[in-house]
Structure 1
Amino acid sequence: MKKSNQQLTTIKTLFLGLMVLILTSFSEVAAQNDPVRLGFIPLTDCSPIVMAKELGLFKKYGVEVVVTKESSWANIRDKVLTGELDGAHCLYSMPFSVYTGVGGKAGSEMMIAMMLNVNGQAITLSNDFCGKVGFKQMNKVTPVVAAKLKAEKEVTFAMTFPGGTHDLWLRNWMSIAGLNQKAVKIITIPPPQMVANMKVGNMDGYCVGEPWGGVAVKQGIGFTQIASQDIWKDHPEKALVVNKEFSEKRRTDLVKVMKAIMEACIWLDNPANRKKAAAIIGKAPYVNAPADVIENRLMGNYDLGCNQGTEVYSNDYMLFHKGGMVNYPRKSYAIWAMAQYVRFGYLKEAPNYKAIADKLILQDLYEEVAKSMKVKVPNDDMKPFSLTMDKTVFDPNNPAAYLKVVKR
């Protein structure tokens, strides 16, 4: 009888295990049939995701994708972390900001699958500064700001997310211009709300992606003081960031999504396609901004405002592929971003740079996708580099040495 009971228990255990396995398999199959949900913020550099949808590239690679407009980067963060979004167009530095506790709950993991673009952001100043400081006149910024502070008027600049790319370009611009960052106020405003806030006088300047720099010029409320590519040519900007569980359980779908977006990036880098792209992403469901402003800055033609004329960028405007140089997610750039958090006082101590970059960047997956599409994988990761305007050398293998000499 005892032996019979043991056999019965064993059979029950095996049966329950089999049922769990079957239910898990059914669950995974059902998940594979769910559409992939990708979010974006209304910015020109959401183009790879939008155009992959509009050109039918997701369908070409056999994956159903729902694309949704989100209200802010914080909204993107929360939805990616909870799985409400499987992935999103995202500030490349946001996963590191969130993980280190600068812009979210420390230890929260958002995964970088690939990069979407370089360049194409700008620092816009209010027309109150018009005639006092012009395009790339960095040495004139400090006296103008100092004069306003001396008049006992608060100087306010805006960016879009703590530790995000716009925050880093703004702070690097201030450092290069010699501004005391503790003397000014820095606020967080979602990208589409920048122009409206400038119009009512809520800030003196802001850093954000296009088209909101160009829109300020078109509306006559601000002018371009500098483009981000002047600070750092071909700097990393937006990335495809995905939910961790999605990257693990739906790897096949993620690969399909990445292939579609890669093809869209290649398509976007053909100048002949940019007029069509501008017309599409300018529509209300996407960026909801004048197509001519989007197109001009996509083509590298910058009306600077403030009677400064036009600046033409020929090889350092917004780029989406550049033979694979753009899309590769470099760990060295992740380490640079985290070093800025230490530099500018967000973090009191240096994080474990390399371990965090290794954890959050799906570099092996990217290399697999790139090779399957015959896209060249760069071999420059983890090599020293310098920004265009700040010539200080950054060695990703030794951030501490950089922090000893860099300006705050």
Structure 2
Amino acid sequence: MTDIEKSAATTVIPPADTGRRHFLKVAGTTAAATVAASSIPRAFAQKKAINIGFIPLTDCASVVMAEELGYFKKYGVEVNVVKQASWAAVRDNLLSGDIQAAHLLYGLPLSVYTGVGGMAGKEIPIAMVIDNNGQAITLANSLSSVAGNDLKKSGAAMNALIAAKKAPTLAVTFPGGTHDIWMRYWLAAMGVPQSKVGIIVVPPPQMVANMKVGNMDGFCVGEPWGGVAVDQNIGFTALTTQQLWKNHPEKVLGLNKEFSARTDDVKAVMRAVLDASAWLDSLPNRRAAAKVIAQQKYVNASETVIRDRLEGRYALGAGQGTKQYLGDQMMFSRAGATNAPRHGHAIWFMAQYVRFGLLKQAPDYQAVASKLLMTDLYAQVAKEAGLKVPSDDMSSFTVTLDGAKFDPKNPAAYIKANPIPV
């Protein structure tokens, strides 16, 4: 990999005080490794570096590889990629300005602004989408009766556990974030009341260790942690999120509000991440990426597990064999189809908040989506990069798992037609 520059500066910003957070966090320790920053070239000597946060997950790859491949420098910005301890830490550090941008859960800015994830009314603008697919719901081996693709059978097994007073505790990564919604959506599709199970919040890198010691019975998180649980024979993959909603939006490039006004710098960062995204969607490059992001300063996990699931090869565990995903594994570009932020997707997430009772009344869907999504800027950057902007911004779509159709122009009708089990 002679074309990869070993110049990444990776540090850990400790999470801010948690007294104001609106969620339960399982205690755990997060290793903090600090790597000295490389020297800043003369061209950047008078310009402060941009700190871009990331969580140790496979889908941080476009941010990490934009740095490692020299794409940020190509577009004239000096960047430090900064490892974060939890999604709450990312939220707090974006709002405080300690970091200027971040690899971020799609739902987090919506959750924060609406108050589901704390800090109601605070804006975290969304510049672009980073990836589709590639998350998983993993269950402990003791819940193998819930394995398989038959929702009715799996739901009956889960409800039987609840009736026997053995309701599982399930972990997600942030209230109203993507993993929280994937877990709740799966439960609803199986006919399982979410109020009957425990749903707690655990930072992604702590998922496997917490399930190993029995703090919970399952979790929804990004790779590689689902694959690591299978590899260590701690759990099995019950559902991948591409099975739930093929090509769903997953992570975004989120911005500090003040930084979002620095248009030239934001566009440069976006161009670098778009280049890295296209590089990652060339499958032969994924092996090189797996080797890089597996390092301790990035994801700190098995290169083999990262590589396999990046290539769409899933060992599922619990006697389910191996499944090969082709074209619907984790995707970073799809010639720009991945990266365009869509108002309809933002409205879908907020409709789930109402549907699942996370919000007691509907927000002004369109106003919130328009406030947070930087669609006009993305269109400019896409044009400069020679990428087509999709024309489906507010188009109806169907969720793969249960066939539910969503019209972003009428979320109230969708909620009424799709009640959750109680």
Q: TM-score, normalised by structure 2?
A: 0.88
1:229 to 242, 250, 253: 242
1:75 matched to 2:89: yes
Which whole-Å CA distance do the structure 2 matches of 1:363 and 1:203 have between them? 39
1:140 shift after superposition:
2.5
Aligned to 2:158: 145
Residues 28-177 of structure 1: matches in 2 within 5 Å? Answer: 33-130=47-144, 132-177=145-190
> Does the 8 A contact of 1:80 with 1:110 survive in 2?
yes
CA deviation after TM superposition for structure 1 residue 32, in Å: 8.0
Task: Please state how far the C-alpha of 1:153 moved relative to its aligned partner.
Answer: 2.8
CA contact (8 A) 1:117 1:327 kept: yes
Question: Where does the alignment leave 5 or more consecutive residues of structure 2 unmatched?
Answer: 1-43
> What is the CA–CA distance in structure 2 between the aligned matches of 1:46 and 1:129, rounded to whole Å?
30
Letter in 1 for 2:224: P
- Contact 1:89 1:238 (C-alpha < 8 Å) held by counterparts: yes
Query: How many angstroms apart in 2 are the aligned matches of 1:147 and 1:385?
Result: 33
What is the SS of the residue equivalent to 1:407?
Answer: coil
| Contact persistence 2:347–2:366 (CA under 8 A) | yes
In the TM superposition, residue 40 of structure 1 has moved relative to its aligned partner by 0.2
Amino acid at match of 1:110: I
Paired AA for residue 137 in structure 1: D
Q: Which of the numbers 179, 186, 196 marks the counterpart of 2:192?
A: 179
| Cα distance in 2, alignment partners of residues 234 and 219 from structure 1 | 28
**2: CA distance, partners of 1:317 / 1:212:** 15
Between structures 1 and 2, the one with greater helix share: 1
Instruction: Report the equivalent of 2:202.
Output: 189
Alignment of 1:345-384 (within 5 A): 345-384=357-396
Q: Using a 3 Å threshold, how does the CA distance of structure 1 residues 32 and 161 change in structure 2: closer, same or farther?
A: farther
Tell me, yes or no, if the aligned pair for 1:300 and 1:312 is still in contact at 8 Å: yes
1:199 partnered with 2:199: no
| Runs of 4+ in structure 1 over 4 Å off | none
Question: Is the CA contact (8 Å cut-off) linking 1:135 and 1:304 kept in structure 2?
Answer: no
SS of match in other structure, 2:131: coil
CA distance in 1, matches of 2:198, 2:154: 16
> What is the letter of the counterpart of residue 100 of structure 1?
T
Letter in 2 for 1:258: M
Deviation at 1:235, TM superposition (A): 0.4
Q: CA deviation at 1:39?
A: 0.3
SS in 2 for 1:122: strand
Q: How many residues align?
A: 377
Which has the larger displacement, 306-315 or 264-273? Answer: 306-315
Identity rate, percent: 55
Once the two structures are TM-superposed, the CA of residue 386 in structure 1 deviates from its matched residue by 1.1
Q: Output the CA distance in 1 between the equivalents of 2:321 and 2:409.
A: 42
Deviation string 1:285-334 (CA, Å, 9 cap, x unpaired) is 00000000000000000000112110010110000000110000001100
Is the 2:281–2:333 contact (alpha carbons within 8 Å) kept by the matching residues of 1?
yes
Based on CA coordinates, which of the two structures has the bigger radius of gyration?
1
SS of the counterpart of 2:132?
A: coil
For residues 214 and 118 of structure 2, the distance between their equivalents in structure 1, rounded to whole angstroms, comes to: 29
Distance 1:407 1:238 in 2: 27
Q: Which runs of 5+ in 1 are unaligned?
A: 1-29
Q: CA deviation at 1:142?
A: 2.4
Structure 1 residues 236-385: aligned runs within 5 Å? 236-248=249-261, 250-385=262-397
Q: Distance in 2 between matches of 1:145 and 1:388?
A: 21
Q: Distance in 1 between matches of 2:398 and 2:126?
A: 23
Over aligned residue pairs, what C-alpha RMSD do you find? 1.3
Q: Any idea what SS the aligned residue of 2:125 has?
A: strand
CA contact (8 A) 2:148 2:154 kept: no
Counterpart CA distance in 2 for 1:194 and 1:69 is 17
